[in-house]
Amino acid sequence: MMSQARIDTVLKLFQDAGHLTVEPPILQPANTFLDLTGEDIRRRLFLTNGPDGSDLCLRPDFTIPVCRQHLELGDAGRRADYCYSGPVFRQRAQGSGEIPQLGAESLGRDDRDEADADMLGLAVAALDVFGIRDRDILIGDETLFASVLSGLDLPAVWQRRLRDLFGETDKLSAAIGRMAGTDRSCDDTRDVRLGFLAALEGADPEAAHAVVEDLLSIAGISAVGGRTPSEIADRFLEQAALANGSGNHARAAEVLKSFLAIRGNAADSLSALENFAGETGLDLSEAIAGYRNRLDAIRARNIDPAGLTFAADFGRRLDYYTGFVFEIHSKNGEAGGQLVGGGRYDRLVKLLGAGTEVPAIGFSIWLDRIARISGRSQ
């Protein structure tokens, strides 16, 4: 266990930065997590039922519960900063499923670059309190990847498929290979063309859309992964198009592979991104300017960008993550995973019921891993 005095010191650090301490309920609606993070998380949840038969789970993270509480307390778009300390609960092969975490969230700030830098700086300051200075900081930016995609001559169906896979390196690489016609190891066109999706190919789009929505209604499905029946119908139609659209985009595939291979210290990667844009002829000026502004803001927090590692292929799998992401690891890797994980999730509050997207960024600290590398209780 970590020393409570150290935890209290970090919480005071967060509070002094303007973050209100909150304690979201441990019991949470399970369907919220299943809808937003996918069915894969089900095997890691501690599930139970409420008196009315509703599916509940022990809190598997803090970000979603904090955002739910934010919505309950007032206008979704208001500026609000939160911090927290407590357990999250996840089934895992080894160790206790009760995992102590500490973290902070910031919602409603329109100055995104400054907010990104503030939250990274706050995470670094927290690790300083715990005496963790031998660390590696990895950063990424989905905005850059999205800009590259939008600049390529790709059908919308492929742009959406590839963006959905960003952050899952192996799956993304396989999809790019299928798109170029060079990788059939995970080819799914044979199966989908034999069934329902094959029937949708070439059909009138409006009629096909209505058929899918009717089938979902009959099955009693109102949402999956945060998507409405209409959005799910769109995905079915995309799958049908994908089944008949591989092998035609070799140049785009090469450009994407070149971009995703960019990796190095964050300061040098700025030049690498500019050179990539010049060589490919893509207009990435706005995305690169955003990256440069963020690095300037990070530098102003006394964090040297040359000491950060930028990886163009680093992102989060979940749909609600957008833009800047970061992880902090111990240099020797003995913690068994990230010490801090954070990122921008501007889509989340809208997916939880707000009328519009709300700028938001946060991070969580894995206290069990910090205790592990310290070699003693702190």
Confidence of residue 377 (pLDDT cuts 50, 70, 90): very low
What are the structural domains, with CATH classification, of the chain? 4-24+59-146+260-374 (3.30.930.10), 157-248 (no CATH)
Point out the annotated binding site for L-histidine.
Answer: 61-63, 90, 101, 105, 316, 320-321
Mean pLDDT of 244-252: 69
Q: Give yes or no for residue 149 having a pLDDT over 80.
A: yes
Q: Give yes or no for residue 194 having a pLDDT over 60.
A: no
Confidence of residue 359 (pLDDT cuts 50, 70, 90): very high
* CB of 323 closer than 8 Å to CB of 357: no
Q: How far is CA 279 from CA 273, 287, 371, in A?
A: 10, 16, 47
Radius of gyration of the chain from its Cα atoms, rounded to whole angstroms: 22
Q: Calculate helix-pair angle for 250-260, 142-151, nearest 10 degrees.
A: 160
Confidence of residue 139 (pLDDT cuts 50, 70, 90): very high
Q: Which residue has the higher pLDDT, 199 or 133?
A: 133
Q: Give yes or no for residue 255 having a pLDDT over 50.
A: yes
Q: Which residue has the higher pLDDT, 308 or 319?
A: 308
* CB of 116 closer than 8 Å to CB of 361: yes
Confidence of residue 18 (pLDDT cuts 50, 70, 90): very high
One DSSP character per residue, 116-183 reads HHHHHHHHHHHHHHTT--SEEEEEEEHHHHHHHHHHS---HHHHHHHHHHTT-HHHHHHHHHHHHTS-
Task: Please tell me the distance from the alpha carbon of residue 48 to that of residue 184, in angstroms, as a whole number.
Answer: 42
pLDDT of residue 186: 45
Q: Which of 181-195, 283-297, 339-353 has the lowest mean pLDDT?
A: 181-195
pLDDT of residue 57: 96
pTM for the whole thing? Answer: 0.84
Point out the annotated binding site.
Answer: 61-63, 90, 101, 105, 316, 320-321
Mean pLDDT (the chain) is 87
pLDDT of residue 219: 74
pLDDT of residue 188: 47
Which among 183-197, 244-258, 269-283 has the top mean pLDDT? 269-283
Q: Give yes or no for residue 204 having a pLDDT over 80.
A: no
